[in-house]
């Protein structure tokens, strides 16, 4: 049985948790460009990873919508673009950015609009593993006894989704000729 404290210790040593089984944790080095993975087992020494976490220094941490809104507005202003010009470049409805970019706004765009807005400004949104919360780690550890059933279920669901996509693709090819 995996111990939550061990998983926390792996994370505290600087590893990004990739997977947890009943007897091991798969950790990945979080440094930019490093593809090192390690299978770490309870009772064994946990090697430390690069303490500097050489991440790209131009990355900006985003914790709230307000952070991303300010970064996007600053970028637009640095590029000397008006809101209307940016809406046109991004293919967005007129006045949408005026509503979502202003200070104190209650309007938050959907994910696709956010991606279009970012792309028009020359940004891409990327997901990077970071330390998980103690509750997430504990939940992962406590559910390892269900991993076989969940793996089977997820395999079946993935297979069904792929089969449906293939059917949709075949339908498009036969009906659009």
Residue 148 CA to residue 174 CA, distance in Å, equals: 39
Is 163 inside any structural domain?
A: no
- Judge whether 166 lies within some domain: no
Q: What is the mean pLDDT of each run of 10 residues along the chain (177 residues)?
A: 90 89 89 85 89 62 92 92 95 94 91 95 86 93 88 84 70 52
- Does one domain contain both 2 and 89? no
- How many domains does the structure of the chain reveal? 2
User: For position 16, what pLDDT does the model report?
Assistant: 86
Residues 50 and 91 in one domain: no
**Residue 58: C-alpha distances to residues 15, 30, 112 (Å):** 22, 16, 23
Q: Find the Cα–Cα–Cα–Cα dihedral 174, 175, 176, 177, rounded to 10°.
A: 60
H or E stretch covering 87: helix 83-90
Domain annotation covers residue 86:
yes
pTM of this prediction?
0.63
Q: Is residue 111 part of a domain?
A: yes
- The answer to whether residue 140 sits within a structural domain is yes
Q: What's the farthest any 2 CA atoms get from each other in the chain?
A: 62
Residue 23 belongs to some domain of the structure: yes
Pair 112, 71 in one domain = yes
**pLDDT at residue 57 in the model:** 57
* Inside any domain, residue 167: no
**Domain shared by 105 and 72, yes or no:** yes
Q: Which domain holds residue 82?
A: 65-120
Residues 32 and 13 in one domain: yes
Q: What is the pLDDT of residue 52?
A: 62
Q: Is the dihedral of CA 101, 107, 108, 114 positive or negative?
A: negative
* Bridge partner residues of 38 (DSSP): 27
74 and 116 in a single domain? The answer is yes
What is residue 17's three-state secondary structure?
strand
Return the CATH number at 96.
Answer: 1.10.260
Same domain, yes or no: 51 and 138: yes
């Amino acid at each position: 049985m995996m111990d939550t404290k061990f998983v926390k210790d792996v994370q505290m040593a600087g590893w990004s948790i990739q997977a947890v089984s009943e007897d091991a944790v798969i950790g990945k080095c979080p440094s930019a460009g490093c593809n090192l993975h390690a299978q770490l087992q309870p009772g064994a020494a946990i090697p430390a990873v690069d303490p500097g976490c050489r991440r790209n220094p131009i990355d900006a941490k985003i914790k709230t919508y307000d952070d991303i809104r300010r970064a996007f507005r600053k970028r637009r202003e640095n590029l000397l673009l008006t809101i209307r010009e940016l809406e046109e470049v991004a293919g967005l409805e007129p006045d949408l950015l005026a509503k979502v970019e202003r200070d104190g706004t209650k309007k938050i765009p959907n994910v696709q609009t956010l991606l279009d807005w970012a792309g028009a400004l020359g940004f891409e949104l990327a997901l990077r593993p970071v330390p998980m919360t103690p509750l997430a780690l504990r939940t992962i550890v406590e559910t390892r006894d269900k991993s076989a059933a969940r793996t089977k279920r997820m395999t079946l669901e993935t297979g069904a989704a792929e089969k449906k996509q293939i059917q949709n693709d075949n339908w498009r090819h036969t009906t659009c000729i």
